[in-house]
Amino acid sequence: MRIKLINPNTTVSMTEAMGRCARRVVAPGTELDAVSPATGPASIEGYYDEAMALPGLLAEIKRGEQAGYDGYVIACFGDPGLYAARELARGPVVGIAEAAMHAASMLGTGFSVVTTLARTCGMAWHLAENYGMKRFCRNVRAVDLPVLELENPQSDARRLITDECRRALAEDGSEVIVLGCAGMAELCESIGREIGAPVVEGVVAAVKQVEALVAMGLRTSKRGDFAYPLPKSYAGHANQLNAA
């Protein structure tokens, strides 16, 4: 089985960290490749960044199809381009917010999302509603830390995130924490030990869900919304991207 993990931003060190976390949990015989697109933003911290990341992300899905990958993970908590990626892919495509929220709903009656910037809290709420998870989501909290600060060994990111997770348990009535950024992947285990509650990190959750779907012999349905894109011409730069 071959799974392609795509970090839609172009920060390779963050992609490598996600790959390390994912490879620790995959089953023997599963090959996992973690990649960043050739084009796009260094971090994704809003709708504009998401839009700018989509051409590179979808190009990676196309390359994955040509290379014969069995499934894909979109490793950004906004799940950018998820539905478009499903149109392109034969195998399952899972977003990390989607995976983390569903996993958390199985571990307790309510969860809180702890993310980076306050400006992305609304995005997380929209995803919870779209995925039918709003009834489980007690709160979305931010530590107001830029995503790339998670890569800075001199930053206070780990303490800030851990403290916010503790407040979520105490103030929101939550029983589970969802980490709301793929860049937090390597913090998950230590935070869980410190706060004494389940902490779900979406990269690992999504990888295991893709692995399970592929093992069950399931693929993305091509009978409706996720049918392959209709052939047509694209103008200008979009035509080059479409042909990639």
Phi-psi region of 132 (alpha: psi -120 to 50; beta: other; left: phi over 0): left
Question: What are 95's strand-pairing partners?
Answer: 74
Cα distance between residue 128 and residue 18, in whole Å: 23
Q: Are 107 and 200 in contact (CB under 8 A)?
A: yes
**210 and 232 in a common domain:** yes
The pLDDT, as a whole number, for residue 241 is 66
Give the per-residue pLDDT at 93: 98
For β-strands 137-142 and 111-115, DSSP reports them as parallel
d(CA 211, CA 194): 29
pLDDT of residue 243: 59
The share of the chain scoring above pLDDT 90, in percent, equals 85
Q: What's the CA gap between 178 and 181, in Å, rounded?
A: 9
- pLDDT tens digits, residue range 61-99? 999 999 999 999 999 999 999 999 999 999 999 999 999
In this structure, what token pair is assigned to residue 209?
């869900």
Q: How many domains does the chain have?
A: 2
* Residue 159 and residue 231 in one domain: no
Exposed (0-12), middle (13-18) or buried (19+): which is 152, by Cβ within 10 Å?
exposed
pLDDT for the residue 244? 61
Both 118 and 153 in one domain: the answer is yes
Q: Where residue 217 sits, what CATH number does that domain have?
A: 3.40.50.12500
Residue 238 confidence (pLDDT) above 80: no
Q: Does 128 share its domain with 67? A: no
- Do residues 214 and 165 share a domain? no
What pLDDT sits at residue 196?
94
Q: Which domain holds residue 182?
A: 97-202
Of the candidates 97, 54, 102, the one whose C-alpha atom is nearest the C-alpha of residue 77 is 97
Q: Tell which residue, 148, 168, 169, has the closest CA to residue 157.
A: 148
The DSSP secondary structure of 122-173, one letter per residue, reads HHHHHHHHHTT-TTTEEEEEE----GGGGG-TTS-HHHHHHHHHHHHHHHH-
Q: What is the mean pLDDT of the chain?
A: 94
Say if residue 153 is in the same domain as residue 70: no
Residues 12 and 103 in one domain: no
The number of CA neighbours under 13 Å toward the Cβ of 83 is 6
Q: Are residues 41 and 107 in the same domain?
A: no
Note whether 148 and 209 are same-domain residues.
no
3-state SS of 20-53? HHHHCCCCCCCEEEEECCCCCCCCCCCHHHHHHH
- Asked whether residue 117 falls in the same domain as residue 87, the answer is no
Token pair, residue 60, equals 């990676």
Based on the domain organization, do 106 and 89 belong to the same domain?
Answer: no
Residues 92 and 212 in one domain: yes
**Distance from the Cα of residue 23 to its chain's centroid:** 16
